[in-house]
Amino acid sequence: MVLDPARLPTLILASQSPRRAQLLERLGLPFQTRPAHLDEEASNYLAPEALAHALALHKAQAVWRSGEWVVAADTVVALNGVLLGKPVSVAENRVFLKRLSGQTHTVFTGLALILPEGRAVALVDAAQVRFRRLEDWEIEWYASSGEGLDKAGGYGVQERGMVLVDRIEGDFYTVMGLPVRRLWQLLAEEGYFSGGKGGAA
């Protein structure tokens, strides 16, 4: 099989995240964005892994139309089982960073794919992230930058937040917000690369 991106179905990315769009662009897959607008707080009673799974699936379902391939992802950060969402202020971002400093937390990214006939497949990929022990001035520097305000856990590993992290066990792109290896494999398994009619490529 020769892969010709020009002949692939256009993926619908149910996200407004520039990071997820950037990753799809790097893969060279045709896509367009169609953000899903959901009340993410309504599902916060779930355990972190279940929450990531549910949010990704709900986002994909919210934008799917018959005949389309829809991809959605959602990232959840948990420290000792406690959720750290998106900080609503610089002050809350400082609190998050103080809690993460010197600790290992888990990043769960849910990934959902809906096929043209409406069948949905969803999974969760997890990675362990260890933060350095941060100095107070580093916490202030990062929180004041505003970079973490739209990100689960209050930091972005692919931007200035790269200096906060000591090590990652697992897929870097899961921490970034889209486990591209798992997505690629899922698309192949569901026949996307072989004409988009279902079945293995």
Please spell the DSSP secondary structure of 74-118, one letter per residue. Answer: EEEEEETTEEE---SSHHHHHHHHHHHTT-EEEEEEEEEEE-TTS
Domains and CATH numbers, the chain: 5-194 (3.90.950.10)
Question: What is the Cα 88 distance to its own chain's centre?
Answer: 19
Residue in 4, 74, 125, 166 annotated catalytic: 74
Report pLDDT for 94.
97
Active site residue 125: no
Q: Calculate ∠ Cα 68-72-76, nearest 5°.
A: 170
Question: What is the Cα 129 distance to its own chain's centre?
Answer: 15
Report pLDDT for 111.
98
Q: Which of 129, 142, 132, 126 is nearest to 94 (CA)?
A: 142
Residue 34 CA to residue 97 CA, distance in Å, equals: 31
Judged on CB neighbours under 10 Å (0-12, 13-18, 19+), 95 is middle
Contacts of 171 (CB under 8 A, 6+ apart): 125, 127, 179, 181, 182
The answer to whether 109 and 73 have CB atoms below 8 angstroms apart is yes
**Could you give phi then psi for residue 83, rounded to 5 degrees?**
-65, 140
List the pLDDT tens digit at each of the 201 positions of the chain: 677 777 899 999 999 889 999 999 999 999 999 998 876 665 667 899 999 999 999 999 999 999 999 999 999 999 999 999 999 999 999 999 999 999 999 999 999 999 999 999 999 999 999 999 999 999 999 999 999 998 999 999 999 999 999 999 999 999 999 999 999 999 999 999 987 544 333
Q: Is the pTM of this model over 0.95?
A: no
DSSP 128: E
The answer to whether 106 and 146 have CB atoms below 8 angstroms apart is no
Query: Per the structure block, which two tokens stand in for 142?
Result: 């990062």
Distances (CA, A) of 106 to 16, 43, 131, 141, 175: 23, 19, 11, 24, 9
- Radius of gyration, CA atoms only, the chain: 17
